[in-house]
Each structure stands twice: as structure tokens, then as C-alpha cells.
């Protein structure tokens, strides 16, 4: 199987692909749009996209892309993100004057970089920063990326685990043209819109509370073309084919102007 991900070879997303799918062929994509297009066009059987980070929050663009495309969420995976300080072989820490990486990685290592007194410069990708470093050969520049990126580009890891907060996880979603029907404990993701009137969101949430359905996430996104109206994305425990969940979704349909199930999939246990 071929799996699409956003980023350069060696990116955290590619590591998540191998951890989740095992030994598969990967397709690096320059943007999340290309990941979705690769699955829609059957160029790839599945894609793996980040949807939220435990420190930085949700990746809103991917919520919008899930709604825009007729694809199904078929799995989830949590990756522990460990940043490495990477240089050309033979470079010493005291020689470093500048570090490059994706803005989110730089932000997650901000205190570490301040303590070293190193200037930070944002680039397009974590693994891409290692690729750039190898290409330009600057001995006074370091990159922040994964261990796999350092190994892939034959670079030196000066220090590992340099993130300021060790509780740094990214949640990924596997997307496919074909839905799955999980036989183990499941999670379901939905999106819906409501009338803009008092109590509408309370009524929507009550359909789950009345049936003791555990909500694990709720996210609102602006409804494009309708200022100050919103889409609501919800994750909850249970599968679409479960009787209790079916009744809850039927009940929600009485209030929702639009309701779409994005997928029921096995819940990640770690």
C-alpha cells in the first residue's frame, strides 16, 4: 500500500506512517491539499494527517479539508514528538550561531534555545530544515527535527529530547475512500451545523449526555460564506453502527441543519 503524508522524507508525519501502517511505500506531499488529492485520485490507498497537537492545539486546515472531501477517517495514531538538535558531522554545540526548523518546532524548544543564546529562523518543514542544512553546508547552523531525519540525511545529533515540555504528542488520522466498521472499541467523528438560536448547542450536546456517550473532543470552525456561523466537529466513543450511537445521531438530526459522519474507526490505545 502507498500512504501519503505532508512533508519531506524524515518528517514526523512519515515516522507516524511507519509506526501505524508498518512497512509501506510513502508519498511525501508539499501540502495537506496534495495529501487529500492523492487519496481521492487513488494515487495512494490512504493518507495520514495530523489533526491536533497536545501543546499547539488543532490543525484547523485539516478540519476544513475533511469537510471538503468525500473521504472517511479509518484510524488514529498518537506520536510522541521528540526534537533533536542536528548539525553537520563534526560540529560542536558552542559553534552554533543559528537554528532552523518549522515554526511549531522552534516554539516547542523556545526555552532550550534561549538558554543556549541561539538565534531561531523559521523554515517550511522540520525534515526540510535538515535537508537544507546538508545542502548549504553551514557549520554554524543547526536544525531541529526527528532522529529519523538526521539518519536519513547522514547528519549528527548533538542532543535529543530538547523540547521544553516532554508531554508533546501529535494525533494523526488515517483517511481513505473506503469506510471501515470497527470490531473493537471505536471512536466516531462527526461535523454538523445548527440554527443560530438560544439553546441550540445545549440541545445538540444533550443527545449524547442522555445516552452516556463520552465526548472526547469538540471543535468549532467558521462556516465559510456565512460570517459568525459555525461548524461543530465532535469526536465521541462508540461506532456509528452501535444502536445507542444511531439513536443519538437520529436525535441530533432533528436539530442539525447539516450532519455528516466523517468516520468510525478503532480507538488508539497506545
Query: Is the model's pLDDT at 233 over the cut of 90?
Result: yes
For residues 261 and 32, give the distance between their C-alpha atoms in angstroms, rounded to a whole number: 21
Instruction: State how far Cα 110 lies from the chain centre.
Output: 21
Query: Is the model's pLDDT at 218 over the cut of 90?
Result: yes
Which burial class, exposed, middle or buried, applies to 202 when counting CB atoms under 10 A from its CB (0-12, 13-18, 19+)?
Answer: exposed
Mean pLDDT to the nearest integer, 200-224: 95
Identify the sign of the CA torsion 96, 98, 103, 106: positive
Where in the chain are the domains? 2-80+168-176, 84-160, 186-266
Considering only residues 214 and 57, tell me which one the structure prediction assigns the higher pLDDT: 214
Whether 172 is a known active-site residue: answer yes
Pick from 87, 104, 74: nearest CA to 140? 87
Say which residues have a Cβ less than 8 Å from residue 146's Cβ, sequence separation at least 6.
Answer: 10, 11, 12, 15, 82, 83, 84, 126, 127
Q: Which fold does the domain 2-80+168-176 belong to in CATH?
A: D-Maltodextrin-Binding Protein; domain 2 (3.40.190)
Q: Read off the pLDDT band of 225 (50, 70, 90).
A: confident
Of 21, 36, 172, 192, catalytic: 172
Say which residues have a Cβ less than 8 Å from residue 258's Cβ, sequence separation at least 6.
Answer: 191, 192, 193
Reading the block at residue 245, the C-alpha cell is 450511537
What is the CB-side half-sphere exposure of residue 1 using CA atoms within 13 A?
Answer: 14
For residues 257 and 270, give the distance between their C-alpha atoms in angstroms, rounded to a whole number: 36
Query: Is the model's pLDDT at 270 over the cut of 90?
Result: no
For residues 201 and 206, give the distance between their C-alpha atoms in angstroms, rounded to a whole number: 9
Reading the block at residue 171, the C-alpha cell is 494525533
Mean pLDDT to the nearest integer, 176-180: 97
Q: Which fold does the domain 186-266 belong to in CATH?
A: Alpha-Beta Plaits (3.30.70)
Torsions phi, psi for 198 (to 5 deg): -55, 135
Mean pLDDT of the chain: 95
Whether 170 is a known active-site residue: answer yes
User: Helix (H, G, I), strand (E, B), or coil: what is residue 47?
Assistant: strand
Task: Provide the percentage of residues in the chain whose pLDDT is more than 90.
Answer: 93
For residues 85 and 158, give the distance between their C-alpha atoms in angstroms, rounded to a whole number: 6
Say which residues have a Cβ less than 8 Å from residue 188's Cβ, sequence separation at least 6.
Answer: 235, 236, 237, 238, 239, 240, 245, 261, 263, 264, 265
- What does the pLDDT look like over 12-50, one tens digit per residue? 999 999 999 999 999 999 999 999 999 999 999 999 999
**Hey, do 84-160 and 186-266 end up sharing a CATH topology, with the first three levels equal?**
no
For residues 50 and 53, give the distance between their C-alpha atoms in angstroms, rounded to a whole number: 8
Of 87, 141, 170, 188, catalytic: 170
Q: What is the pLDDT of residue 224?
A: 85
Query: Is the model's pLDDT at 149 over the cut of 90?
Result: yes
Say which residues have a Cβ less than 8 Å from residue 145's Cβ, sequence separation at least 6.
Answer: 10, 11, 83, 84, 86, 101, 105, 126, 127, 129, 130
How far the first Cα of the chain sits from its last, in Å, is: 23
Q: In CATH, which of 3.20.170.30, 3.40.190.10, 3.30.365.10, 3.40.1710.10 is domain 84-160? A: 3.40.190.10
- What does the pLDDT look like over 61-109, one tens digit per residue? 999 999 999 999 999 999 999 999 999 999 999 999 999 999 999 999 9
The kind and range of the H/E element at 184 are: none
Amino acid at each position: 500500500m502507498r500512504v501519503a503524508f505532508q512533508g519531506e522524507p524524515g518528517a514526523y508525519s512519515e515516522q507516524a506512517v511507519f509506526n501505524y501502517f508498518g512497512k509501506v511505500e510513502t508519498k511525501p506531499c508539499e501540502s495537506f491539499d496534495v495529501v487529500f488529492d492523492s487519496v481521492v485520485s487513488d494515487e495512494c490507498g490512504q493518507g495520514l494527517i495530523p489533526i491536533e497537537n497536545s501543546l499547539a492545539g488543532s490543525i484547523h486546515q485539516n478540519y476544513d479539508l475533511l469537510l471538503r472531501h468525500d473521504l472517511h477517517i479509518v484510524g488514529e495514531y498518537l506520536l510522541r514528538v521528540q526534537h533533536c538538535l542536528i548539525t553537520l558531522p563534526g560540529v560542536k554545540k558552542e559553534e552554533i550561531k543559528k537554528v532552523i526548523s518549522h515554526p511549531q518546532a522552534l516554539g516547542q524548544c523556545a526555552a532550550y534555545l534561549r538558554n543556549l543564546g541561539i538565534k531561531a529562523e523559521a523554515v517550511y518543514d522540520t525534515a526540510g530544515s535538515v535537508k537544507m542544512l546538508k545542502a548549504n553546508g553551514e557549520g554554524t547552523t543547526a536544525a531541529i527535527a526527528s532522529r529519523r531525519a538526521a539518519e536519513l540525511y547522514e547528519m549528527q545529533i548533538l542532543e535529543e529530547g530538547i523540547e521544553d515540555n516532554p508531554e508533546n504528542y501529535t494525533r494523526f488520522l488515517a483517511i481513505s475512500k473506503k469506510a471501515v466498521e470497527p470490531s473493537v472499541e471505536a471512536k466516531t467523528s462527526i461535523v454538523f451545523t445548527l440554527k443560530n438560536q438560544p439553546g441550540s448547542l445545549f440541545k445538540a450536546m444533550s443527545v449524547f449526555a442522555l445516552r452516556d456517550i463520552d465526548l472526547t473532543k469538540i471543535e468549532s470552525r467558521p462556516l465559510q460564506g456565512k460570517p459568525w456561523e459555525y461548524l461543530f466537529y465532535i469526536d465521541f466513543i462508540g461506532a456509528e453502527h452501535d444502536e445507542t450511537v444511531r439513536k443519538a445521531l437520529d436525535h441530533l438530526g432533528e436539530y442539525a441543519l447539516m450532519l455528516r459522519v466523517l468516520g468510525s474507526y478503532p480507538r488508539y490505545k497506545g
